[in-house]
Amino acid sequence: MQDTIFKVKAELGSEAIILNTRKYKEGGILGFFGREKVEVLAGVEEKRSRAAPENRTSSGELDEIKNMLEDLNESWQRDDFVRNLDEHSKQLYDHLGEQNVREDLRKEIIQEIAAGQNRDEKLEILRDSLVDLMGESCPVTVDGRPHVVALIGPTGVGKTTTAAKLAARFADRSEMKVGFITADTYRIAAVQQLKTYSDIINIPLEVVYSREEFASVLAGDFRNYDLVFVDTPGSSWDDKLQLGRLQKLLTAELLDEVHLLISLNQKLSNMLAVIEEFSLLNPDRILLTKVDEATRYGDIVNLRSECQLPFSYYSCGQDVPDDLEKASPRHLLSLLLGDGDV
């Protein structure tokens, strides 16, 4: 520390003011093998000439200075929080930050693990805390005939492939009768793609263009089926016209479940915009897609803190039906903490 202060004085001059000092470790694994470092915050008072003209600061500049001071104060508060953590807690706090877990959630989680006496206890408390945040999964259930499951979401999110994965998984049960309905008549070759899947899985496919046709198919050909999966056309979250068409088609009395598909490989703000706009269609759970294309998994926690809808499944590839898992908290936790295969 003394050597560092000497270097600061040599760099800034003998009148340099030491504002703060701290020691910390960098690198290592859970507190071991870390390299100790020293940080010194210093400044030099600016000297002004008496003859210098008076500097008039505009209101815009004052606002900018105010924002800078608020940011600096927030940064110091954050540093104070981290500075008071033990090494194990700091390692976990930093890991959650690298995964893009929101700072307020990180603090809340890390404060809970303070009761842990050692690394293993802290990790167990961390797992329990994250499991509570994410909540239990809500996969597809079958409680009557036909049980109708609609998949909704933006264009390109993977609805058709996900519908095929779910249908193949349930059709594999010998006693289960499964059918397909598609209303995606806008996208080129969308019907043909689902027809190919239906032929491979060996389940029937019906194409509908209106709510009346949809109701007719459910009351007719599919009335004795256990599960019917409905593929819908994609829509931009700000396309009010297309969302209005979907609202007319997917009326509540025809559906048992509505899964909103969200791509995990995009910004949190985009995901929240999708959830807000598609709320018009009354989704009751979220299905995460393109998990294999995500580089960080903290938004799994961020999403659940912002949205009360439970997770149903997560998709991590194109293989039908293998690349689909139930979104159990333990599965999602393995992604977040780096224990998963993805």
pLDDT at res. 212: 93
In a domain, 300, yes or no: yes
Q: How far apart are CA 26 and CA 307, in angstroms?
A: 35
What average pLDDT does range 192-210 have in this prediction?
88
Q: In terms of residue numbers, what domain contains 254?
A: 147-327
Q: Domain check: are 155 and 301 in the same one?
A: yes
Q: Domain check: are 12 and 151 in the same one?
A: no
pLDDT over threshold 90, residue 289: yes
In a domain, 126, yes or no: no
In a domain, 67, yes or no: no
What average pLDDT does range 26-38 have in this prediction?
65
Length of the chain: 342
Residues 6 or more apart whose CB falls under 8 angstroms from that of 284 comprise: 138, 257, 258, 259, 309
Phi-psi region of 44 (alpha: psi -120 to 50; beta: other; left: phi over 0): beta
Q: Who wins on pLDDT, 5 or 209?
A: 209
Angle of helix 298-306 versus helix 103-112 axis, rounded to 10? 100
In a domain, 84, yes or no: no
In a domain, 119, yes or no: no
**Buried b / exposed e across 95-105, counting CB within 10 Å, b at 16+?**
bbeebbbbeeb
Q: Domain check: are 154 and 21 in the same one?
A: no
Q: Domain check: are 35 and 152 in the same one?
A: no
Cβ(145)–Cβ(224) below 8 Å: yes
Q: Domain check: are 155 and 295 in the same one?
A: yes
Integer angstrom CA distances of residue 5 from 11, 22, 26, 45, 76:
10, 11, 20, 17, 20
Q: Domain check: are 292 and 157 in the same one?
A: yes
CATH label of the domain that carries residue 163: 3.40.50.300
Q: How far apart are CA 287 and CA 326, in angstroms?
A: 9
Q: How far apart are CA 221 and CA 231, in angstroms?
A: 17
The pLDDT-based confidence of 259 (bands split at 50, 70, 90) is: very high
Residue 167: count of CB within 10 angstroms of its CB:
27
In a domain, 105, yes or no: no
pLDDT at res. 63: 73
What average pLDDT does range 96-100 have in this prediction?
90
Q: pLDDT tens digit string along 126-140?
A: 888 888 888 889 999
Q: How far apart are CA 34 and CA 28, in angstroms?
A: 4
Q: Domain check: are 38 and 163 in the same one?
A: no
Cβ(324)–Cβ(164) below 8 Å: no
Phi-psi region of 278 (alpha: psi -120 to 50; beta: other; left: phi over 0): alpha
In a domain, 10, yes or no: yes
The pLDDT-based confidence of 310 (bands split at 50, 70, 90) is: very high
Q: Domain check: are 195 and 316 in the same one?
A: yes
In a domain, 171, yes or no: yes
Provide the domain count of the chain.
Answer: 2
pLDDT at res. 341: 41
